Chain A
Amino acid sequence: MKIAVVQFPGTNCEHETLVAARSAGLSGEIFRWNRPAEELSDFDGYIIPGGFSYQDRLRAGAIASKEPVMEALREEAELGKPIIGICNGFQILVESGLLPGLDGVNVALAQNVMVSKGEIVRRGFYCAWTTLRHESPPKRCSGSFLLEKGDLIRMPLAHAEGNLVTADERLMDRLNEENQVVFRYCSEQGEVDDEFPVNINGSLENIAGICNPEGNVLGMMPHPERSSFAFQLPPTDARKCVGDMGAAGPGRRVFESMKRYIEVRR
């Protein structure tokens, strides 16, 4: 099972994403955006990692979404192959219309707005550990294939534009009805509160990750590759382990899910 970690100019998480994918049993390589796009068909799945593609010029993800490699990824997605976009990768998938994958561009990832007790307490870039609650049924989505509904998963995030907004008043109903909301920000106990710091970026309905209607394309703002090993966990987490450098962290489940999804598709 070979995956491509797609690198754009300004991507900066490609190496640790590949290491995390390998730790879950996947093989793969970093695929630069300017390679012949047709070479993508040699891979079983794709990850668009985090960073600042094209320096976030115009708006995050907008320029990368117009690259030929994205059109090739759209064709691979239509074949059912899994694609996971992490952070800037999620922004690129949104700008390309691959997520939520309905018709055109359906949402925007706007600047973070942290609201507490009715007041804006902070805006813009934020970096912190967060807890995600898995919202969709098991096997609904490639990147959470092995997770049960209600499972909690810890991982960090670091972004300025992850606040999911939409001008389509009916979109949220549709995403909820179709189980396209995959992850929500929640407290460590699993409670969803729409105020900061639980809703860490002001996203509509605490959304941290969504998938397309078919479930093979997932986008998420937090970074599973940064909690794929137990040694990466914060000192306050009882699961932190520095003795065994290969011990799994919670984020690895995302990559293990992708692997299992590919196995099941075969």
Chain B
Amino acid sequence: MKINLRVWLKIPDAEAATVKNTLRRRMGYEAVLADLGKERLWSIEVDDDVRDPMDLARRLARELVNENKESYIATVDTIEFEEGYVPVKVGLHIEDGEAVSALNRLRNRLGFDMVRGVERSVVWKLALKSERPEKAAEEIAERLLINPHKDFYEIMT
């Protein structure tokens, strides 16, 4: 069973603003990119016999989300994104030290014995004015959002 936590900032996201400005002002996407948002995505593999996965998701969120500045949505085994943008998931194809640390922290220090694995990624939400938005999203991912020598991307529509 996989618990997914989509996490985003309540306060203005300066990184998303910088990426949007770079794409629009420096890389020629002014007419294509209408808006850009960013979320962190925690995908947490847990034992299948967990009785109340949403309660577990809330307890995991207490450790992985800072609710003073962040909001989140928890789902089990599925991820759904709102319409109006192309979600591009970016993660590491080399070992992700932060995910490894999170797994160790959850299991060995905080007692979440049911947690089997942790994956961490960023979802860039691209609002695109294009007849082929997924193609444009792929191009943006390859030109800016990833370095292919350590990152992968996936269009999540």
Contact = CB atoms under 8 A, between A and B. Distances in A.
A59 interface: yes
Interface stretch (B46-54, B57-65, B94-102, B113-121): B94-102
Interface stretch (B14-22, B66-74, B78-86): B14-22
Nearest to A64: B22
Contacts of A113: 95, 97
Given A57-B15, A105-B149, A110 B94 contact: yes
A95 B18 CA distance: 16
Contacts of A124: 97
B10 to A, nearest CB: 19
Nearest to A94: B147
Interface string A33-58: 00000000000000000000011011
B135 interface: no
Task: Kindly state the interface size class of chain B when it binds its partner.
Answer: 20 to 34
Nearest to B96: A111
Give the interface SS of chain A, mostly helix, strand, loop or mixed: loop
Given A108-B150, A167-B148, A58 B19 contact: yes
A67 B18 CA distance: 12
Interface residues on A, range: 20 to 34
A126 B21 CA distance: 31
B145 interface: yes
Contacts of A166: 149
B14 A58 contact: no
Contacts of B147: 59, 62, 95, 105, 108
Interface string B122-157: 000000000000000000000011011111000000
A33 to B, nearest CB: 11
Contacts of B150: 108, 110, 165
B149 A55 contact: no
Interface of B: 14-15, 18-19, 22, 26-27, 92-95, 97, 100-101, 144-145, 147-151
Interface of A: 54-55, 57-59, 62-63, 66-68, 95, 105-108, 110-111, 113, 120, 123-124, 165-168
